[in-house]
Structure 1
Amino acid sequence: MLCQYLSQLRVSTEGEGFTDLTSQLAACVTASGLRQGVLNVLLRHTSCSLTINENADPRVLLDLAAFLQALVPQEGVRPLSGQGRLRPWVHDDEGPDDMPAHVRTALTASTLSLPFEQGRLLLGTWQAVYLWEHRAAGSCRELSLHLLGE
């Protein structure tokens, strides 16, 4: 019989960087009592994102952060050719890192669907689920968790 389970998760971040959510999401699967199904995760913010990536070598996360910072610089945007004038971000109501954070989120993901079986997430051996904070200051982030299964 198909059942559903809803939960919320609050995560404090310390600023730009990655927070491993894997154990907290696994705990939610266990708490649901469901044996198999799918966990849908929605990050309820527009200046951070979700990613599934390697958990064995921390240099992977450093390289990912460096790439996205180069792709979406804090000071503004230039033509993709690299030639031409810098156009500063116009939206800066919440500070100079606000608009670059929105662009970084738009290029990544704010939702994930994760299968589980026998009450365990079906991630690869070297995979973890991360909240990727794009703002310089820490924040309390909220996630909606919706499990469907049996």
Structure 2
Amino acid sequence: MWLQRELTLKPQRRGFHLITDEVIALLPELRLMNVGLLHVFIQHTSASLTINENADPTVRCDMERHFNVLAPEGAPYFKHTYEGPDDMPAHIKSTLIGASQTIPITAGRLNLGTWQGLYLCEHRDSASSRTIVVTIQGE
């Protein structure tokens, strides 16, 4: 079985946001899968997806702070600033983290580790909703 769907995620403030439950809620077909893969791809260049700590929210705060050091706003060497000072840093963060994740499906559930969750990494100060393309393959 193959299934592909575009999902719209609600707008989030800048930061790292757990979206595991939101994605699961939008994919009731997951429960029908015995074994398979969920591939998640974000259709934006200023946001990204990652898998990381799902329990302690300070991890998400620390991730945001660290990536702001790696790609600071207002760096004098940035030329691409058409959409504001967070524009180029958002593109750099998105490139470093990546646009997709693949998660195994086992017995109708995402087979994530105990402390793992899927994050939307929002790198813009004033972002709109984000679109992800989810593809399920399995039986």
TM-score normalized by the length of structure 2: 0.92
2:39–2:103: 8 Å Cα contact kept in structure 1?
Answer: yes
1:20–1:128: 8 Å Cα contact kept in structure 2?
Answer: yes
Cross-structure match for 1:101: 90
| Secondary structure of the corresponding residue to residue 69 of structure 1 | helix
The Cα offsets for residues 92-132 of structure 1, whole Å up to 9 and x where unpaired, read as 12222111100011111110000011110000111110101
Cross-structure match for 1:12: 10
Cross-structure match for 1:31: 29
Correspondences of 1:1-150 after superposition (within 5 Å)? 3-32=1-30, 33-76=32-75, 87-150=76-139
The Cα offsets for residues 31-79 of structure 1, whole Å up to 9 and x where unpaired, read as 2532210001100000011111111111111111111100110011xxx
Compared CA separation, residues 119 and 149, structure 1 to 2 (3 A): same
Identity level (%): 39
The letter for the 2-side match of 1:110 is A
Question: 2:3, 2:62 → 1: CA distance?
Answer: 36
| Secondary structure of the corresponding residue to residue 5 of structure 1 | strand
Question: 1:10, 1:26 → 2: CA distance?
Answer: 13
Compared CA separation, residues 28 and 140, structure 1 to 2 (3 A): closer
2:12–2:129: 8 Å Cα contact kept in structure 1?
Answer: no
1:12–1:138: 8 Å Cα contact kept in structure 2?
Answer: no
Question: 1:61, 1:112 → 2: CA distance?
Answer: 18
1:7–1:28: 8 Å Cα contact kept in structure 2?
Answer: no
The letter for the 2-side match of 1:108 is I
| Secondary structure of the corresponding residue to residue 28 of structure 2 | helix
Question: 1:43, 1:133 → 2: CA distance?
Answer: 11
The structure 1 segments of at least 4 consecutive aligned residues displaced by more than 4 Å after TM superposition are none
Offset of 1:28 from its aligned partner? Answer: 4.6
1:29–1:120: 8 Å Cα contact kept in structure 2?
Answer: no
Question: 2:22, 2:10 → 1: CA distance?
Answer: 13
